[in-house]
A and B are shown apart, each in its own frame.
Chain A
Amino acid sequence: DVKVTQSSRYLVKRTGEKVFLECVQDMDHENMFWYRQDPGLGLRLIYFSYDVKMKEKGDIPEGYSVSREKKERFSLILESASTNQTSMYLCASRRKTGRSSYNSPLHFGNGTRLTVT
């Protein structure tokens, strides 16, 4: 089974702090994703990465950056945490899909609940 591990289950940070959320997957997946989950809004894509060193903005990238130095690890960075970034953050990975190939499903970690005070 694919395992996606998020380093922290709960995190409490102060406004203005730099925050790192770490995610590691063990199935050699090329694609990795960061979502945030908020009640009534579902899952919204923050950033994703096709492969090592690559990154693309998702639907809500403002206030976030990412790093993918190794294939198995994808980090989400909050440069200066704000209270509106209090949320559940979910990391996911997926086997590479081509334009005409079968869409492989996302495999999610168990999430990091971040509170910014």
Chain B
Amino acid sequence: GENVEQHPSTLSVQEGDSAVIKCTYSDSASNYFPWYKQELGKGPQLIIDIRSNVGEKKDQRIAVTLNKTAKHFSLHITETQPEDSAVYFCAASQNSGGYQKVTFGIGTKLQVIP
């Protein structure tokens, strides 16, 4: 089955700096890569996603890049703010027996220091 590795597991940055979280996946059949943000006491929420036919996608201060050849995808947050502090999960999704199976990374705890 699919295996998603995510690193780092924790990340501390100064407010205003950039943060990068990296993930790798093992199965070339994966075709959809969402990123979720989980704030304290809440469930994960989708913040950005990318499909396998796209190399990069941006939404204001966040961007995701995908390298299908290397099976890498990354989340980039620029001009970090304290409210960006949260746990971030990457995921890879693929067709499996007629449905879309989602495999998550272990999460990255991001702390933005004011």
List the interface of chain A (C-beta within 8 A of B): 4, 31, 40-45, 48, 50, 56, 59, 90, 92, 97, 99, 102-103, 105-111
Chain B window 16-28, contacts with chain A (Cβ cutoff 8 Å), 1 for yes, 0 for no: 0000000000000
Bound form: Cα–Cα A105–B46 in Å? 7
Given contacts A90-B43, A103-B31, A108-B36, 20 further A-B contacts (CB under 8 A): A42-B6, A42-B105, A43-B44, A43-B89, A43-B104, A44-B104, A59-B1, A90-B44, A92-B43, A97-B100, A99-B95, A103-B93, A105-B46, A106-B36, A106-B44, A106-B46, A106-B102, A108-B43, A108-B44, A109-B43
Bound form: Cα–Cα A23–B44 in Å? 15
Which B residues are CB-close (under 8 A) to A50? 99
